[in-house]
Structure 1
Amino acid sequence: MSITIADVAARAGVSKTTVSRVLNGKGELDLRTAERVRAVIAELGYVPSARAVGLARGRTRVVGMLVPSLTWPWMGEVLQGAVDVVESEGYGLLLFTFNRGAESMHQFASQVSSQSFDGLLVIEPEGTLTYIEQLHARGLPVVLIDDRDHRPQFPSVATTNYAGGQSAARHLIELGRHRPLVITGVERFGCTHERLDGFRDTYAEAGIELDPRLVFEGDFTHESGRRGVQHALDQRLDFDAVFAHNDLSAGGAIQAVRETGRNVPNDVSVVGFDDIPYAQHTEPPLTTVHQPMRQMGQAAARMLMGYFGGTPLPEEPQVLPTTLIVRSSTAPKPTPRTSAPAPAVRSHH
């Protein structure tokens, strides 16, 4: 039989509340009473459950994390960053995915109502933002990671998608690449618009208008990178570079370009976005815009931990910068060889 707090109280001749106060070190207690309770705890071998102690303190020492799916290429990095901080503070992490739509949401909502966690980290599953804003309004501390341009009514950690697009464009312009094919991400995501705008605006500043026929709507998959290149070839559109909105579609683009017998980086230079581990293993290794995904997970978890320690959650989003990582998939555009002038022919009279 497991020993309960009631057993301890009965043996020590005190109330359950007194035992609870001894366990939590709360309130002024008669020293002899406290020592008697501790002696009984030791004698009976009573081990308070972390959850019981947490509830007595008004804390579970668990952080919830809600994500769309674990299959997203950078999800592991964000999770690792959050776990690094949460575990170092002696908290546990309760993970919820949104793989099964309404059913997943129902399961998550039931955990919310039973107060299974003290605060929530969110990578927003589509269509859940209003619900999460309500939870925050009702007093649950929430931090959003990667706000996708939604600017919610609660704290968030974001990255510089627009500046990332700019850095990709500047790099390609410096290499003399004036006809880029852009393979975008999912159209409804804010990050897709920010990356495209940063890229397009930087080309415009250099006096180069992007050909609208060379902007292909992708969906962040390897296959959409292949399709984007194939589409441009089918339309007989000339391009000397590819800017893909993530590394997977950049990898698909590299493969499709090479299958046509062209060389990456000389004939076509390719830039990706994210800098997931895969980027170092494409052939050739991929130049890409690095998103600090692990640091974003850490920053969001630190916000929550700070809040538990009495620091108010920040009003403004915390924005972490992107950086361009140059590898071998980009190179200066080769200058066209001019044919040597024909030798002068002397006529003999």
Structure 2
Amino acid sequence: MSDLAVRAGVSTATVSRVLGGKPGVRQATRDAVLTAMEELGYARDRQPPTRAGVVAILVPELSNPAFPAFAEEIDTLLFSAGHPNVVLASGAAGTSEVQHLETLAELSIAGMVSVSGTPADTLASNEPYQRLISAGVPSVFINGYADNLQGAFFSCSDAEAVTSSVAHLRSLGHTRIGLAVGQPKYLPTQRKIAAFRSLGFTPEDVASTIYTAEGGQLAASRLLDSGHTALVCGSDIMALGAIREARARGLGVPRDVSVVGFDDSPLMAFTDPALTTVRQPVRAMCEAAVSALLGAMHGTALDHTEMLFHPDLVIRSSTGPAS
């Protein structure tokens, strides 16, 4: 394999994929490896055993219901296309994303889908993903974008999510509207803040914490202290934390404070009150991502332009007229 890699000018990992009949290798590269085999006098007596068709699905965690929704949809689409898959969840208490990627680099996977992974973190290194892609693994990314990765990118429009949320709250008479989001290093956070500020709000109207219920409660505390009567949250989980903070202060939702979430995670229609939220078009995003991945696994080049999807504002009981 080393001899073939040197002769063909490729990596040994690429040679392995060609010899194993794996998808995701350009035809010109495949031809170069086969030509090198002929020139060096190598021949294959049999095809090596493979696990062709296995796709890895990476998600940040499974405790946040937004991510299992993506994993389930991707799994259904891949399985119906004849490709089994494995779901790998990372988190602070378990295996990290980097550890998963290092493991995948040692396996013969057919493709990879990353949901809200490292490419969504502007301060993190994408080098583990670059190694997999360089080894010929077709990769698509949902809600994460990096121009140094040769993958395909599919994201929900954070700008449209914020704009529709603010328009709804303003139609209810709210003028003191605050934005509760995660850490500024995350690309979705940056995009939400930029869209929010473009609507005439100031830095004092933004509270950046973490994407958890506790983070939402802390952000709400800061914004309520400064007189805001309506909160746009970066996730449904943060929105639930914001509602908890309002109630801890003896405030009613939506009587005194209106709250808007983001994701429309399962069960948000059954919270008390039912949560007004921005729904990500999960199925449409997953269909586009899986379609691109399957095409790449059969030799079609990936388009690296990020595709943005339109979200929908779902109005429920957590928003009401300004008091």
When normalised by structure 1's length, the TM-score is 0.70
Question: For residue 13 of structure 2, what is the aligned residue in structure 1?
Answer: none
8 Å Cα contact 1:243-1:272 kept in structure 2? yes
Structure 2 unaligned segments of length 5 or more: list them.
Answer: 1-45
Question: For residue 111 of structure 2, what is the aligned residue in structure 1?
Answer: 119
Asked whether 1:258 is paired with 2:255, we answer no
Q: CA deviation at 1:247?
A: 0.8
Question: For residue 146 of structure 2, what is the aligned residue in structure 1?
Answer: 150
Question: For residue 133 of structure 1, what is the aligned residue in structure 2?
Answer: 130
Q: CA deviation at 1:102?
A: 7.8
Identity %: 28
In 2, Cα distance between the equivalents of 1:318 and 1:54? 38
8 Å Cα contact 2:65-2:266 kept in structure 1? no
SS at match of 1:333: coil
Q: CA deviation at 1:253?
A: 1.2
Question: For residue 271 of structure 2, what is the aligned residue in structure 1?
Answer: 282
SS at match of 2:58: strand
Question: For residue 102 of structure 2, what is the aligned residue in structure 1?
Answer: 109
1:302 alignment partner, one of 291, 299, 307 = 291
Equivalent residue letter for 2:254: P
Asked whether 1:92 is paired with 2:89, we answer no
Q: CA deviation at 1:273?
A: 0.9
2:185 alignment partner, one of 185, 188, 191 = 188
In 1, Cα distance between the equivalents of 2:179 and 2:48? 53
Give per-residue Cα distances to partners, 1:107-161, cap 9 Å, x unaligned.
643442342x1111123246452221232133221111111x5344321111101
In 2, Cα distance between the equivalents of 1:171 and 1:261? 25
Closer, same or farther: CA 110–239 of 1 in aligned 2, 3 Å? closer
Asked whether 1:70 is paired with 2:62, we answer yes
In 2, Cα distance between the equivalents of 1:54 and 1:329? 60
Question: For residue 228 of structure 2, what is the aligned residue in structure 1?
Answer: 239
In 2, Cα distance between the equivalents of 1:54 and 1:144? 32
Q: CA deviation at 1:282?
A: 2.4
In 1, Cα distance between the equivalents of 2:287 and 2:134? 24
In 2, Cα distance between the equivalents of 1:90 and 1:139? 20
SS at match of 2:220: helix
8 Å Cα contact 2:261-2:277 kept in structure 1? yes
8 Å Cα contact 1:80-1:297 kept in structure 2? no
In 1, Cα distance between the equivalents of 2:219 and 2:98? 34
In 2, Cα distance between the equivalents of 1:333 and 1:182? 17
Equivalent residue letter for 1:150: A
Asked whether 1:230 is paired with 2:221, we answer yes
- Alignment length, in residue pairs? 271
Question: For residue 34 of structure 2, what is the aligned residue in structure 1?
Answer: none
In 2, Cα distance between the equivalents of 1:242 and 1:292? 22
1:219 alignment partner, one of 210, 222, 226 = 210
- CA-atom RMSD in angstroms: 2.6
Range with greater deviation from structure 2 (68-77 or 317-326):
68-77
Question: For residue 8 of structure 2, what is the aligned residue in structure 1?
Answer: none
Give per-residue Cα distances to partners, 1:260-291, cap 9 Å, x unaligned.
23222132111111111232122211111111
In 2, Cα distance between the equivalents of 1:55 and 1:321? 45
Question: For residue 270 of structure 1, what is the aligned residue in structure 2?
Answer: 259
Equivalent residue letter for 2:295: G
Closer, same or farther: CA 328–316 of 1 in aligned 2, 3 Å? same
SS at match of 1:273: strand
8 Å Cα contact 2:243-2:253 kept in structure 1? yes
When normalised by structure 2's length, the TM-score is 0.75
2:172 alignment partner, one of 172, 175, 178 = 175
8 Å Cα contact 1:79-1:294 kept in structure 2? no
In 2, Cα distance between the equivalents of 1:86 and 1:188? 32
In 2, Cα distance between the equivalents of 1:106 and 1:221? 23
